[in-house]
């Protein structure tokens, strides 16, 4: 739509700031553009009034106001968050308890070598002894008379 | 499965021994062979006694013939008799262990006294051993009626 040179004067007339209100009114009555423009201004004013008054924020209220804004922006904590934390703590406690259980059972003791604690024979004239040539060995030296 | 559930499962499994009571039975494996020197190019082992090969590599024999191969499972203080031949019998008795992961075993090799009309036997060998599970131990020096050595190899496990 082509603009009209009277738009500024129509705005000032709308705001009650012009002295030649009669001339502006006369122009508006003959100019379709300015008539529509004045109608738009009146519509905007009416809508603005229905929005109600905007509350002012005092300096003392500003911190509380920003806290509210931040709460609105920050992601809300999951209701499961506490449960997971508790589960993790429980799991950690079980790991510690299990480790202590294994240690107290002596599971980490090194494996020892084979040991001959005692050795004897009832055969007369025989002797017994043990040796370790890589594989632990118990010997029986049988006398000729001990042959079966 | 969560970590918590996994840990609980481990604890339950670990507590199983305490719930079940005594230790598991001991398995005693015995290989009794006639060992001879026959000037072979390669050592010979009867098929049933090939398992003892690593334990006898250093011996001055090249031929190992099976006399008896046996396996018994026994509880602590319960003697297990493993016949070898008409003369010898091995008796293995698991003993209470001392918490060092070794298996304590009392071993007796009974020898029938051929001159005893009542068939009496003497203990040609009696020994108490603390054995590393699955590690072999040799009992040597017994004589067969052929004049050759009877070699006994033992191994235990739970």
Reported as a single tens digit per residue, the pLDDT across B24-49 is 899 999 999 999 999 999 999 999 99
Contacts of A122 (CB under 8 A, 6+ apart): B122, B123, B124, B126
Structure tokens at B21: 């009571």
Residue A69 predicted with pLDDT over 50: yes
Residues of B in contact with A146 (CB under 8 A): 111, 124, 143
Q: Which residues 1-40 of B are in CB contact (within 8 Å) with A?
A: 2-4, 7-8, 10-11, 14
Enumerate the domain spans of chain B. 23-157
Chain A touched by B126 (CB under 8 Å): yes
Enumerate the domain spans of chain A. 7-50, 117-148
Q: Do B141 and A140 touch (CB under 8 A)?
A: yes
Backbone phi, psi, residue A12, to 5°: -65, -35
- At A110 the pLDDT is 60
Q: What is the 3-state secondary structure (H, E, C) of chain B?
A: CCHHHHHHHHHHHHHHHHHHCCCCCEEEEEEEEEEECCCCCCCEECHHHHHHHHHHCCCCCCEEEEEEEEEEEECCCCCEEEECCCCEEEEEEECCCCCCCCEEEEEEEEEECCCCCCCCEEEEEEEEEEECCCCCEEEEEEECCCCCEEEEEEEEEC
- At A70 the pLDDT is 84
Contacts of A129 (CB under 8 A, 6+ apart): A119, A138, A139, A141
Residue B3 predicted with pLDDT over 70: no
Residues of B in contact with A148 (CB under 8 A): 87-88, 111-112, 114, 143-145
- At A108 the pLDDT is 55
Give the C-alpha separation, B38 to B74, whole Å. 37
Residue B18 predicted with pLDDT over 50: no
Mean of all residue pLDDT scores within chain B? 87
Give the C-alpha separation, A110 to A32, whole Å. 104
- ipTM of predicted complex: 0.78
């Amino acid at each position: 739509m082509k603009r009209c040179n009277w738009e500024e004067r129509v705005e000032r007339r709308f705001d009650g700031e012009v002295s030649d209100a009669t001339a502006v009114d006369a122009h508006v009555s003959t100019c379709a553009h300015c008539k529509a423009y004045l109608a738009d201004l009146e519509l905007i004013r009416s809508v603005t009034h229905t929005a109600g008054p905007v509350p002012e924020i005092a300096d003392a209220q500003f911190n509380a106001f920003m806290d509210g804004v931040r709460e609105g922006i920050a992601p809300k904590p999951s209701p499961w968050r506490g449960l997971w934390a508790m589960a993790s703590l429980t799991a950690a406690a079980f790991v510690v308890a299990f480790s202590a259980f294994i240690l107290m059972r002596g599971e980490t003791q090194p494996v020892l070598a084979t040991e001959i604690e005692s050795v004897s024979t009832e055969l007369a004239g025989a002797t017994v002894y043990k040796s370790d040539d890589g594989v632990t060995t118990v010997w029986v030296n049988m006398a000729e008379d001990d042959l079966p | 499965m969560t970590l918590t559930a996994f840990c609980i499962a481990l604890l339950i499994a670990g507590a199983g021994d305490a719930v079940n009571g005594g230790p598991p039975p001991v398995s005693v494996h015995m290989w009794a062979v006639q060992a001879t020197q026959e000037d072979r190019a390669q050592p010979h082992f009867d098929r049933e006694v090939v398992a003892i090969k690593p334990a006898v590599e250093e011996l001055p024999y090249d031929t190992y013939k099976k006399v008896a191969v046996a396996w018994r499972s026994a509880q602590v203080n319960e003697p297990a008799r493993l016949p070898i031949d008409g003369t010898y019998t091995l008796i293995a008795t698991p003993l209470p262990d001392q918490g060092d992961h070794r298996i304590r075993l009392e071993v007796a090799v009974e020898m029938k006294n051929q001159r005893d009309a009542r068939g009496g036997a003497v203990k040609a060998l009696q020994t108490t051993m603390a054995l590393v599970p699955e590690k072999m131990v040799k009992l040597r020096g017994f004589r067969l009626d052929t004049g050759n050595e009877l070699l006994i190899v033992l191994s235990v496990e739970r």
